[in-house]
Amino acid sequence: MISPTASLGNSIETQSPTVLEGGTPRTPCRDSDPLRQPFFGDLHVHTAFSLDASTMDTRNRPADAYRFAKGEALGLQPYAEDGRPMRSAQLGRPLDFAAVTDHAELLGETYICQAPDLQGYDSWVCQVYRRWPRAAFFWMNFQASRATRHNFCGENGRRCLEAARPPWREIIEAAEAAYDRSEDCAFTTFIGYEWTGAAGPGNNFHRNVIFENDLVPDLPLSFIDQPDLESFWKQLGAECEDAGEACDVVVIPHNSNLSAGKMFRTQQEDGKPISRDEAEARKRYEVLVEMIQHKGESECFPGLGNSDELCAFEKLSTNSFTGRYFWASDTQPKGRQFVRNLLREGMAQEKQIGVNPFQFGFIGSTDTHLGTPGLVAETADFPGHGGAGKPAGDALPTGLPDFVEFNPGGLAVLWAEENSRRALFAAMKRREAYATSGPRMVVRFFGGEGLPLDYCNRPDAVATGYAEGVPMGGTLPASGPDSTPPRFAISVLADPGTAGQSGNTLDRVQIIKGWTTQDSTQEKVYDVATGTPLPASVDPITCETVAGGTQSLCAVWEDPDWEPTQSAFYYARALENPSCRWSQRLCVQARVQCENPETISEGFEPCCSESHRPLIQERAWTSPIWYQPDSL
């Protein structure tokens, strides 16, 4: 366990009264609202300490990422030879919180390969890393996916583990320095990392690990040393919660869309159902799942257990990392790649083993590999993913900066009393969280039998919601056979926009219900509130918009198909009116006219591919509210 960190900040003479968070006191926040406020952030951020970022010439380090999140401009590759960046980016509005989550795997290896004075620097792997970064990216990740250390790491990988200390220390120090412990509570950081597991080559198993405070383990756990989830959870428990200090952690799986359905298993290797212990460990740690990021959205796939055409949103054309590179790969989407299918499976599992292993709340994030958290605007300035995407060379990319199916990623929104580690982390634990595909929509969602029908007109609506129901992420109490169906109150406020870009208006809000029957699970999508009949519109050819539409939606909805004996989940999906996608904005800017091939300049071919969708409907997904009957 690392004790309260770093030289930075230790000499602060804090004013009383103070609150102890982990090992360090902080001043209470001036603005604390018992009815909670939405805080917008990014919990998936890579910097130069991640191999796949550094091999793309990302040089921004954790402190840079936090400066960016707080609103400062940041330089991006390609760099001129003297180190001056040729591109830069800046958020239109700062984030409230962020976590740098560099890959735990290869943290030491990447460090060794960049430090001439360390043993191993001259190893052939490091030479390949420096000579052919992309080849090294594949090879080193392949080795890591086989949970194998490179020879240059020495006996038991000790050299690489030791080498991981300086970057881990820097990650911690950056988070400590950027965390606002004053009464302003203007910005919160979390210490974290990514455990980058794989099930067979290329099947994504990745999880982000977010710590509550500055009491964190000595080193991040990597897939190389903890090559399966069970040993990972066990070791995480040993080094964090069970270590006798105020350490706590959440684990957030991401990109189930690239897992070929293997990210969340329901059977052990020998074909037997998973144990109750395993389900409980998963439920304990994996309280949130990442719904959207650069590498696609993971809610649902059209036709895969649903008839929901709005599932056709930011989908990748492959089901694993290797699908893109090997033509023979099976790229067919599998049910368990998608969150909605998993939520259904979770209820089925609960019936069988008594625990729901897939009880996820939702967040969005970026997975930026440029050190640019929260850069989610759907504009022509999207600089690309910077990791597993299109390789960045010495030159600025011509044409689209990344694979056309990638997107600028989403945001994590947490309902918390104040912007402090303690309050935000508690929101994560109780799943009072939602994901957006980028816009800062404000979404409240309550469920409860006693919610009043006039909820939307009450000035004390929010207080009523908490008093009469449970917020998103909660579970409704079991009802007797004669009880009335639960009601759900959903209210949405459109993104207010920034000085440079006004926010888009709302199209509708839906509730998605999943439930168990005797021997299967079902799902249904209900439109519960829609915007004005004359919404804002956008011309996909020019991206010009006509203003109009609805800025807020609110509804109280009662489940017409409710059965008190069936388990169920309900989550809300709020949709904006269509707008131009980042790629289309670039295509328009480059004056591409698909009917005239001469106008399609190099790098802009994807503008005219069949799979290119010029318009998108940005959205938010609330964490579900579960209903669990007594009979279970």
Partner 1 sequence: MDLTYLVPTGFTMTEAPRPIQRSRLQRILRAPLFHFIFIGTCAYLLWPVWNVDEDRLSIRVTAEDVHQLELGWTQQMGRKPTARDRAALIENEIDERLLLEEAFSRGWHRSDGIAQRRLIQNQRFLDPEDQATDEEMLERAYQQGMDQSDVVVRRRLLELMRLTLAAEARRTPPDREALNAYLHDHADQFREPERVQLSHVFLSRDRRGLNLDTDAEALGQRLRQTSPPVKAAVEWGDPLLVRSRLPLWSEDRLARELGTSFARSAMEAPGQQWFGPVDSAYGKHWIFVESRSEAADPELNDVLPRVEAEFLREREKEALRNHVKELREQSEIYVETGLDAPAS
Q: Which residues bind partner 1 (CB under 8 A)?
A: 7-9, 11-13, 30-31, 33, 35, 37, 63, 78, 80-84, 86, 93-94, 116, 121-122, 126-127, 130-131, 176-178, 182, 184, 394-396, 398, 440, 442, 444, 456-459, 461-462, 491-494, 496-499, 502-503, 532, 550-552, 554
Using the minimum distance from each CB to partner 1, give the nearer residue, 9 or 273.
9
CB of 567 to partner 1, least distance (A): 30
How far apart are alpha carbons 109 and 129 in whole angstroms?
A: 10
91, burial (CB in 10 Å: exposed 0-12, middle 13-18, buried 19+) = buried
CB of 397 to partner 1, least distance (A): 9
CB of 168 to partner 1, least distance (A): 18
Q: Would you give the end-to-end CA distance of the chain in angstroms? A: 40
Using the minimum distance from each CB to partner 1, give the nearer residue, 282 or 573.
573
Q: What single string gives the DSSP state of each residue in 248-293?
A: -EEEEE--GGGBTT-SS-SB-TTSPBPPHHHHHHHHHH--EEEEEE
Single-letter code of the amino acid located at 7: S
Residue with tokens 């991206």: 543
Using the minimum distance from each CB to partner 1, give the nearer residue, 117 or 595.
117
The alpha helices in 6-79, defined as continuous H runs, are: 51-54, 62-69
Tokens coding 321: 């990392």
How far apart are alpha carbons 43 and 331 in whole angstroms?
A: 28
CB of 13 to partner 1, least distance (A): 5
Tokens coding 345: 């499976």
Tokens coding 618: 């940005």
Using the minimum distance from each CB to partner 1, give the nearer residue, 549 or 564.
549
CB of 129 to partner 1, least distance (A): 9
Q: Other CB atoms closer than 10 Å to residue 138's CB: what's the count?
A: 15
CB of 218 to partner 1, least distance (A): 22
CB of 330 to partner 1, least distance (A): 36
CB of 262 to partner 1, least distance (A): 37
Residue with tokens 């239109």: 92
Using the minimum distance from each CB to partner 1, give the nearer residue, 348 or 554.
554
Using the minimum distance from each CB to partner 1, give the nearer residue, 328 or 395.
395
Using the minimum distance from each CB to partner 1, give the nearer residue, 59 or 283.
59
Tokens coding 191: 């210490």
Q: With CA atoms as reference, report the closest residue to 50 among 202, 215, 164.
A: 164
Using the minimum distance from each CB to partner 1, give the nearer residue, 532 or 542.
532
Rg (C-alpha) for the chain, rounded Å, is 24
How far apart are alpha carbons 251 and 285 in whole angstroms?
A: 5
